[in-house]
Structure 1
Amino acid sequence: MRMEYVGAVLEVVALVPAGTAVAYGDVAELLGSGGPRQVGSTMSHYGSSVPWWRVLKASGEAPPGHEREALAFYLLERTPLLGSYAEYLRTGEGRWRVDLPSARWAPSDAEFDRIDAVAERLERSLHRLSAPDDEMTV
């Protein structure tokens, strides 16, 4: 995985405010690059420095293996949830998920400007890396 992509994904995820969430595919769409699997892989390997719990599957399920920790963040941030999370906290049983349609982050104009700058920088760096040698000499 190219580090330019990793950096761009992490920069976008860092913008997602408390109490909101996005799907892996949302991040890819905002960047105009990659897809849900690439974003998921990036988050899995490099996402510990950003609010990783705010990026999830399109179903609203928390990152696998991190459900209990993510749920604590969701409750603290008052992220909209569906299902029996109280039962899950008491017994470890019960199914719950983030109510992604209600929790989905809607970036402001200023945030879109920042995202666009990240996406443009990523596009330029990926273009430079894939340009033939003769294109690189000007």
Structure 2
Amino acid sequence: MRRNYVDAVRSVVGLIPPAHVLSYGDVAEILSQGGPRQVGAVLSRHGSGLPWWRVIRAGGEPPRCHGRRAWDHYAAEGTPVKGTPDDDGGGYRVRIGAARWFPSEADWAALEALRAGLAEAGPKVSAGRDEVEA
């Protein structure tokens, strides 16, 4: 995966404030490149040090296999959720309609700069696979 795409995804995730979320698809849409799986791949491989719990599945489910750890972050930040975690860390959802982040004008300026940088860098990251289109 292109390094500038990885950096752009990391930058978007770093902007999401506490108690707010975006879906994997939201991040890809903001960047006008890739798709939910590509964003997930970036976070899986390069998400260290980021608020990974603020990027969720479109239905409000926390990141796979991290439901219990994510729950602790949601509780500490006051993220709106529905339900409580079961023994496997599932059983609840983030109320994405209430928690979705809507960037400020200043945030949009930063996001537009990221998007422009990706467009100038060359071929787009395909939404169909984790590799760069030729």
**What is the rounded CA distance, in whole Å, between the counterparts of 2:36 and 2:90 in structure 1?**
26
Stretches of 4+ aligned residues off by more than 3 angstroms = 91-94
Q: Is the 8 A contact 2:21 2:101 kept in 1?
A: yes
**What is the rounded CA distance, in whole Å, between the counterparts of 1:54 and 1:114 in structure 2?**
19
Q: Is the 8 A contact 2:19 2:79 kept in 1?
A: yes
C-alpha change, 1:23 and 1:93, in structure 2 (3 Å) is closer
**What is the rounded CA distance, in whole Å, between the counterparts of 1:126 and 1:42 in structure 2?**
19
Partner of 1:133: none
**What is the rounded CA distance, in whole Å, between the counterparts of 1:10 and 1:48 in structure 2?**
10
Residue by residue over 1:66-120, the C-alpha shift from the partner in whole angstroms, topping out at 9 and shown as x without a partner, is 11111000000000001134xx3xx557610111111000100110000000111
Gaps of 5+ in 2: 124-131
Are residue 47 (structure 1) and residue 47 (structure 2) matched? yes
Gaps of 5+ in 1: 131-138
C-alpha change, 1:19 and 1:120, in structure 2 (3 Å) is same
More helix by share: 1
Aligned length: 124
**What is the rounded CA distance, in whole Å, between the counterparts of 2:38 and 2:93 in structure 1?**
22
Q: Is the 8 A contact 2:65 2:89 kept in 1?
A: no
Query: Greater relative contact order: 1 or 2 (C-alpha under 8 angstroms, separation 6 or more)?
Result: 2
AA aligned to 2:116 is E
Partner of 1:37: 37
- Root mean square deviation, CA, Å: 1.7
AA aligned to 1:103 is A
Judge which range, 106-115 or 118-127, deviates more: 118-127
**What is the rounded CA distance, in whole Å, between the counterparts of 2:29 and 2:76 in structure 1?**
28
Write the mapping of 1:1-138 to structure 2, written as runs, cut at 5 A.
Answer: 1-85=1-85, 88=86, 95-127=91-123
Shift of 1:44: 1.0
Residue by residue over 1:48-70, the C-alpha shift from the partner in whole angstroms, topping out at 9 and shown as x without a partner, is 22110000100111111111111
Which SS does the other structure have where 1:48 is aligned? coil
Shift of 1:25: 0.4
Flag the structure with larger Rg: 1
Judge which range, 43-52 or 14-23, deviates more: 43-52
**What is the rounded CA distance, in whole Å, between the counterparts of 2:109 and 2:89 in structure 1?**
42
**What is the rounded CA distance, in whole Å, between the counterparts of 1:2 and 1:92 in structure 2?**
34
